[in-house]
Amino acid sequence: MDSAYRRLVNLGLTLFIVLLAGLVLWHFLLPLAWAAVIALASWPLFERIRAGLRGRNTLAAAVTTLLVSVVLIGPLGWLMLLLGQELHRLADFLAATNAQGLPAPVWLARLPWFGTEAQRLWSEVLSQPQGLSHYLQSALAGRVAFLSNWLRDLSLQIGHRLLIFAFMLLSLFFFYRDGPQLIRQSNAVGARWLGPRWALYAGTIPGAVRATVNGLVLVGLAEGFLLGIAYLLAGVASPVLWGFVTAILAVIPFGAPLAFTGVALVLLVQGSALTALLVFGWGMLVVFVADHFVRPLVIGGATRLPFLLVLFGILGGVESMGLVGLFLGPVLMVLLATLWREAAAGST
């Protein structure tokens, strides 16, 4: 009786400590999850750097973390620079449109359902000199407080994201530095709790994370590159910027159509209907091949997941966990499939 009582007390104390620790770490789970995903995906790179530095763990962790931060921050900084240039051009275009007016395109009135209303609004706002400024003044009247609150909330969100990014890099450094010891401890605890089953799960998760990163990030970059070439050939202004935006959106399945549809609409407004149709058709072809063949092959082939589980893992992960769910969702589906196969094998 005493032994059973002690086990019950130990279990209660363990659960109490775990729950309190989870409460303390709750707001840091997101940067920890991002750091874990990046560490697992880039672990082979860290091992090569550590071997090149003759096993100096701390230095290798610092160098790898610096490389990861450059890879993450560099393209975003370049994108911000391009966006600043484009916003300057947009401001010049709007100023010229407001001063001189912009005639409505002929095809606008031919659009079904809303063509007449669209042409009327265009004529009132864009065709008349100073029409745009009058429209903006009336639209923004009484909304200064709303815009002020929106800008304040936006600045707070940006600061929050930067803080998450900083904690992610800090966690990533320690994951690299203490990774070998953490792996040994995890294997010991997992083997004690789950026995031989732990080896099956521990050997599945790293490969699933790397396959998901390759299937999402690399395929997304390839989509952005192929569509960026189409933007260049179509004569789109700033094709590199549009290609980069497409690559970012293409990380999420079916996200790239938002970019190339916007490009097609810009071309349509400029009067290049055939070019717009070709860009849209090429974009649909690239996305169809990437999302229905390449991604399932890269992710599902490495993890032995069927297409539906890959798709539901990605989309369901985004819905439930945000962007980090892009990578954690398929990993959870891999674990679910592993449990299923193990149960099916045990019943035969």
- pLDDT-derived band at 302 (thresholds 50, 70, 90) equals low
Q: Does residue 301 have a pLDDT over 80?
A: no
Q: Does residue 283 have a pLDDT over 90?
A: yes
Quick: pLDDT tens for 22-69: 888 888 888 999 999 999 889 999 999 999 998 888 999 999 999 999
211 touches 298 (CB < 8 A): yes
Whole-angstrom CA distances from 310 to 16, 221, 281, 303 are: 36, 19, 25, 9
299 touches 305 (CB < 8 A): yes
Give the separation between CA 282 and CA 121, rounded to whole angstroms.
Answer: 32
pTM of the full structure: 0.78
Determine the pLDDT at residue 142: 61
| Domain coordinates in residue numbering, the chain | 22-177, 196-348
Determine the pLDDT at residue 113: 73
Based on DSSP, count helices (H) and strands (E) in the chain, helices before strands. 16, 0
Quick: pLDDT tens for 168-225: 999 999 999 998 888 888 888 888 887 777 877 777 888 888 888 888 888 899 999 9
337 versus 281: which is more confidently predicted? 281
Give the separation between CA 192 and CA 184, rounded to whole angstroms.
Answer: 12
Determine the pLDDT at residue 218: 87
Maximum separation of any 2 CA atoms in the chain, in Å:
92
Quick: pLDDT tens for 224-251: 999 999 999 998 877 888 888 899 888 8
